Structure 1
Amino acid sequence: MDDFDEDLIRALQLDGRAQFSALAADLGVHRTLVAQRVHELLASGEIRILAAVHPRAVGLPIQANLQLRISGPTSPVFERLSEFTNVVFLSEISGQNQAVAEVWAADREDVARAVRAIQAIEGVVETQFSLYDRVLRRLRLGEDPEAGDLAFDDFDIALIAELQLDGRLTFGELAKRTGRSASACRARVLRLLESGVMRIGAVRSRRSATTSVLSGVGIVLRGDAEGAAAAEELLLGIPTIEFAARTLGRYALIATIAARSLADYTDIVRRIRAHRGVRLVETWVHAFVWLERYEWSLDRLARSRGV
């Protein structure tokens, strides 16, 4: 992977339906090169372009980060965790702990049940829990939608179901699959995107060998509000940070860095450590991503209508 690929994938993560001509203009290359490389990345499985629905829109407003210490063989634990329907991200990591799992839940009782079930898995000997208080950046999902934008109808659900399989389907293709007109499909897709309920972007195959380094940081702050706000601003000013959240638990902030190299990762962590509002930074590298789930079943979407 070279810098052009990284820039192209980053642009597609932000807008998976961007026109090749617009991408070419932004990247300063010819449209033909962009079209060829996007097709190659899709064909190789390096990326998929899919619709993601915001967790609040599917009735899952509570999100938590779990770090697990595992004793003995790790694969059976990860295989068991992969079966949990409310685990949306699961990664094998370096360091003192061996796993990171992100859990989405309907309420605090729901997340408590999930945590207890995970703690009961044979081989899990310790669980470190952080509840997301406020998500500051979520590359694949964007800002929280307004409460009034969270209701779906059957047409919305049909469109989302198709776009979860292929986010670059044309409006004509969507019309054939949903039985509606292309103009109706266009208007409804744009409404879903503008509301923040749905976002369409590239999802990387984290298992492919690339030069990028996916890592996590847990940040303990010094305590003053001004320093905390400045630390959040620092994180949001780093383009390769894909996710950042204010949390309750061991850390005040958790972030995910998609660095372009080990040197880039080291530089970013040094900048965070040097910030006046930061007391402590703990880091881990995502060595193998077992699961990254953004799609939801029709049943789950249908039950979310009117939330």
Structure 2
Amino acid sequence: MDTSRQSAAKAPKGNEPPAGGLDAVDHQLVKLLVADGRAGYAELGAGVELSGDAVRERLKRLISDDVIKVIGSVSPATAGLDSFALVGISVRGPVLPVALALAELPEADLVVQTTGMFDIIVELVCRDDRELLRVLDESVRSIPGVLTCLAMQYLSVEKYAPEGSQQLLVGGGLSGGSGAWEDLDDADRALVAVLQQDGRASFKELAEQSGVPYASARRRALRLLERGVVRIVTITNQLVYGRRVQAGVGLRVQGPVPDVVRTLRDIDEVEVAAATTGPYDLLLEVSCASRADLYHLTGTVLRRIPGVMSTETFSYIDIHKLPYTWTAL
């Protein structure tokens, strides 16, 4: 699953990729960014035999084309977030305007257009259940065109290993950095907010965008990164990079859910698994190389697991928002 498993050919000279896709240099750059999202342009250039300026332009293209996003990821415990839900939305009329409106909500961590019983799935990340209810009532249901909402609240996240995340969650808890949101002052929080938008922001950009003086911004940012309060993560858009076929899968289970979870953790294509309320006992996010592989996974592999009664698949058509926190379901 890790992009580091991809072999990269010797980097060609020049800065332009071949028409219609990514070249070996692009793949190698993504690999290097997964290893260190804040690596300097000169360091990245040395890894692909290009100048720092050429690397800068390539990264601009990869980001603008939604191939990757380098962000500062914050543990929910650190940020004081305690209520999460995946919401399946049916739409009356055009879907795109609704998806774009949902992407503007600060509580929306992921917004995806899908096939299946839902037109859109959106992940909401809130401080508590009261805030989740408020966002559903006042923000989501009030968007013109929203017909129905089905909220599936997370009980525990049992696996979290999306490609490019450099994180692994097992058993409902994340091994994150120390400290809580209340322990950070306004300057720290301002710096975190900038890093959540751009994990590669320079110390100068951090100072300018946060309003914190340069020397303090540099010292504070280094401390936040060293303590693991913020982790720099390179997120890859699997619809245009890597396995290319991505979907959500709802599982209905008979018998103990942990027995099924133990098997799911060993299936490479299953990147995220969460126990939820609602119509499904488990919600998965999966990535496959092709539609045929997705069909084999959902129609054969998952259904062979003892205890799995049924599967329901929501294939991703377009991703409008990628996550700022670790949740990413």
TM-score (norm 1): 0.73
CA distance in 2, matches of 1:14, 1:268: 29
What letter matches 2:278 in structure 1?
A: G
Match of 1:137 among 148, 152, 160: 160
Partner in structure 1 of residue 84 of structure 2? 63
Q: Is the 8 A contact 1:171 1:185 kept in 2?
A: no
Q: Is the 8 A contact 1:230 1:277 kept in 2?
A: no
Match of 1:274 among 304, 308, 311: 304
What letter matches 2:307 in structure 1?
A: G
3-state SS of paired residue (2:302): helix
Q: Are 2:47 and 1:31 aligned? A: yes
Q: Which has the higher contact order (CA 8 A, sep 6+)?
A: 1
Q: Are 2:240 and 1:224 aligned? A: no
Q: Is the 8 A contact 2:71 2:196 kept in 1?
A: yes
CA distance in 2, matches of 1:276, 1:244: 16
What letter matches 1:201 in structure 2?
A: V
Structure with the largest fraction of helix: 1
Please report the RMSD computed on the Cα atoms of aligned residues, expressed in angstroms: 3.8
Residues 127/183 of structure 1: CA separation in 2 closer, same or farther (3 Å cut): closer
CA distance in 2, matches of 1:7, 1:217: 31
What letter matches 2:85 in structure 1?
A: A
Instruction: Describe the superposition over 1:15-53 as per-residue Cα deviations: whole angstroms up to 9, x where unpaired.
Output: 5236899999xxxxx822598778624434232312122
Per-residue deviation, 1:212: 0.8
Match of 2:226 among 191, 199, 213: 191
Residues 78/61 of structure 1: CA separation in 2 closer, same or farther (3 Å cut): same
Match of 2:37 among 11, 16, 24: 16
Match of 1:105 among 107, 115, 126: 126
Per-residue deviation, 1:222: 1.6
3-state SS of paired residue (1:274): coil
Partner in structure 2 of residue 244 of structure 1? 273
Q: Are 2:153 and 1:127 aligned? A: no
Per-residue deviation, 1:59: 2.9
CA distance in 1, matches of 2:44, 2:301: 30
Q: Unaligned stretches of 5+ in structure 2?
A: 1-20, 168-173
Partner in structure 1 of residue 58 of structure 2? 40
What letter matches 1:31 in structure 2?
A: G
Between the two proteins, the alignment pairs up a number of residues equal to 284
Identity rate, percent: 26
What letter matches 2:283 in structure 1?
A: I
